[in-house]
Amino acid sequence: MASASVASVSEILERHGEALRLFADRVHAVREDQWSAPTPCTEWTVRDLVAHLTAEQLWVPPLVTERRTVAEVGDAFDGDVLGDDPVAAWDRAAAGARRAFEAPGALEGTVNLSYGDSAADAYCAQMVADAVVHAWDLSRAIGADERLPARLVDFAGREVGPYAKDLSQSGLFAAPVETAPDADPQTRLLAVLGRQA
């Protein structure tokens, strides 16, 4: 994964806010009968996908604000993080992550992640890319607008570019999908992450 940021701290924070709002918009659009619907992430339902992103946000305060290690946090966010109100659970977790990243000096220094230490700004940039791509997954699953904001597509493309070829080997991403030479940036971003637009 990346060890240095693809952008300035101000740009990362701006894109982070936009990415959280984009994903939140899709979460708030989920109908009651859609939580068990399939998503492009073949092992996940809509609820699983939202739970994954919610758990990721819950990790941010202990890692960024408290500077705890993954081992110290342990299994605190295993299991059902959504409870009876998935939308409210997402909103709380996203707000906590946003506060943690926005705190003065939060993106300086390092954080301890599952694969080792990382620059805090690079961690935030990775979180942006993840939220952007999963917003598309959620959009497709619930029949929402699949178009992603161009600035977020550009940012996510720059973020995943340096390590995109290694993602499918992690077992967390499907193999890249072939695209036409004139494919638009969103199609290319999704394709490199194993998604057919």
Please name the amino acid found at residue 40.
Answer: P
Average pLDDT of the chain to the nearest whole number: 91
pLDDT band at 179 (very low <50, low <70, confident <90, very high): confident
Distance of CA 82 to the CA centre of its chain: 17
**111 phi/psi in degrees, rounded to 5:** -130, 155
pLDDT of residue 103: 96
Give the alpha-carbon dihedral of 120, 122, 125, 129, to 10 degrees.
-130
Among 104-118, 142-156, 167-181, name the one with the lowest average pLDDT.
167-181
Question: At residue 95, does pLDDT exceed 80?
Answer: yes
Please name the amino acid found at residue 190.
Answer: L
Residues 105-133 have pLDDT tens digits of: 999 989 999 888 999 999 999 999 999 99
119, 5 in Cβ contact below 8 A?
yes
Question: At residue 86, does pLDDT exceed 90?
Answer: yes
Question: At residue 90, does pLDDT exceed 80?
Answer: yes
pLDDT of residue 2: 42
Question: At residue 168, does pLDDT exceed 90?
Answer: no
Stretch 93-106: mean pLDDT: 97
Beta strands in 22-173 (DSSP E): 110-113, 116-119
DSSP per-residue codes, 72-125: HHTTTT-S-SSTT-HHHHHHHHHHHHHHHHHSTTTTSSEEEETTEEEEHHHHHH
Question: At residue 37, does pLDDT exceed 70?
Answer: yes
